[in-house]
A and B are shown apart, each in its own frame.
Chain A
Amino acid sequence: MELVSTNAGSTLYVGNIDQRVTKELLYELFMQVSPVAGIRYPRDRVLQNYQGFAFVEFHNSEDAQYVAKCMNNVVRLYDRLLKVRLSGKNSSSNGDVP
């Protein structure tokens, strides 16, 4: 299964997630700011524990960009500060718009 969405402009990478955080919790959290189109929250295949990061997809890139600005270094879950940034491999360094 691919982890990175084809719709890269509207997908955020969320990092520094505590193991106790569930997919439902991530969904509820990001819904507070924009409607969530989908979440990929990988687990280790063998150990079944979460890997500490997730990809959260929104309906368009405008929403995603807003959420990145709004939620990066803002929310602590179980005392770990969530890192939120635009996902996508060909995004240049944390994107100043040309």
Chain B
Amino acid sequence: EAAWKKRERKVVPGKISKKLRAAMRLPEGKLPPWCVKFKELGMPPAYPTYLVAGINWEIENLTNDIYGTLSVNRGSKNE
């Protein structure tokens, strides 16, 4: 299952492939549906550094395929 392992590495939280976007019928530049739940439930416990556009990340960061990132920086806002 080397091919599978390789594919796994390409998947990062905050980025949605064209294929997944198409399956969800999610237009580009639109937040995926679970982001609403992030607001309601709090951020995922598994990703303490998760930054998501429109929640704890500037909405301007939202691009065609990226809506969030696992920030390596401490969560401080540097403006």
A residues contacting B by CB (< 8 A) are: 18, 20-21, 24-25, 27-29, 31-35, 58-59, 62-63, 66-67, 69-71, 74-79
Contact = CB atoms under 8 A, between A and B. Distances in A.
Interface residues of B, number: 25
Interface of B: 4, 7-8, 11-14, 16-17, 19-20, 23-25, 32-34, 36-38, 41, 44-47
B24 A76 contact: yes
Contact of B34 (A21, A32, A58, A63): A32
Nearest to A20: B23
Given A32-B32, A70-B38, A75 B24 contact: yes
29 contacts: A25-B23, A28-B16, A28-B17, A28-B20, A31-B13, A32-B14, A32-B16, A33-B44, A33-B46, A34-B44, A34-B46, A59-B46, A62-B45, A63-B46, A66-B44, A67-B44, A69-B41, A70-B41, A70-B44, A74-B33, A75-B24, A75-B32, A75-B33, A76-B24, A76-B25, A77-B23, A77-B24, A78-B23, A79-B25
